[in-house]
Amino acid sequence: MSGSQDLAALPARGERTEEGIDLARAERATAELLRALGADPAGDEEALRQTPRRVAAAFGQLLTPRPFDATTFPNDEGYDELVVVHDIPFRSLCMHHLLPFHGVAHVGYVPGERIVGLSKLARVVEWFSSGLQTQERLTAQVADWLQDELAPVGVGVALEAEHLCMTLRGVGARGAATTTLARRGAIRDDPDVGAEFRARVADRGGR
């Protein structure tokens, strides 16, 4: 892997249509949704007039990942223990209800020949979060991408999230949190390394 990974090498994140995001169309659809909900964006309520534009822009922002270079450096010191970045905040949209799920990610790896810029672990989470997702797929995509691109000894990804679709609506399970875990390489196959990853996550308050 070169020192700077071209974004084009990043695979697709959550569900996207062939056309990508059409803001004008999203705006028209939001105006129609408002009318279906009994609100008139062209009516007397001034605060509603820009709502279709705002909603389209909000979804556009939530679904558009920020480009970045996945900078790596030679592992000259031969560092061969776990590196974990804890409590990376993330937000995504559940593909079932288009409502946010949000929480924190703990991303760890045991380096091979290269180490990666720490912020890039957070950027990869953001990249795959910026789409219509399930928490399981998001977790697995982050782990698979790091395992494929860094060729590390192992990768571990743990996510804790609140899904608004099940806390604020539907079953209304306030306070319910969902945890997911994806392990690759030695973090999956070597019990000691796997236990170390789980202990580090737990030490920081993860479950």
Ligand X SMILES: Nc1nc2c(ncn2[C@@H]2O[C@H](COP(=O)(O)OP(=O)(O)OP(=O)(O)O)[C@@H](O)[C@H]2O)c(=O)[nH]1
Residues in the annotated binding site: 94, 97, 165
Please give the single-letter amino acid code of residue 136.
E
In the complex, least distance from residue 162 CB atom to ligand X, rounded to whole angstroms: 11
What, of Zn ion, ligand X, none, does residue 63 touch, CB below 5 to 8 Å by kind? Answer: none
**Cα–Cα distance for residue pair 64/199, rounded to 1 Å:** 34
**Cα–Cα distance for residue pair 123/116, rounded to 1 Å:** 12
Residue 179 — left, alpha, or beta (φ > 0 → left; ψ -120 to 50 → alpha)? beta
CA distances from residue 9 to 34, 96, 143, 152, 205 in whole angstroms, order as listed: 39, 28, 15, 17, 34
Query: In this complex, which beta carbon is closest to Zn ion, that of residue 72 or of residue 133?
Result: 133
Binding site residue list for Zn(2+): 94, 97, 165
What, of ligand X, Zn ion, none, does residue 91 touch, CB below 5 to 8 Å by kind? Answer: none
Interface of this chain with Zn ion, residues 96 to 125, rule: CB under 5 A: 96-97
Strand 83-94 and strand 132-133: the pairing is parallel
When asked if residue 164 is in the footprint of Zn ion (CB under 5 A), the reply is no
| Interface residue list for ligand X (CB under 6 A) | 94, 96, 134-136, 163, 165-166, 170-171
Interacting residue with Zn ion among 48, 83, 140, 165 (CB under 5 A): 165
Query: In this complex, which beta carbon is closest to Zn ion, that of residue 63 or of residue 186?
Result: 63
Residue with nearest beta carbon to ligand X: 170
Residue with nearest beta carbon to Zn ion: 165
Strand 154-163 and strand 132-133: the pairing is unpaired
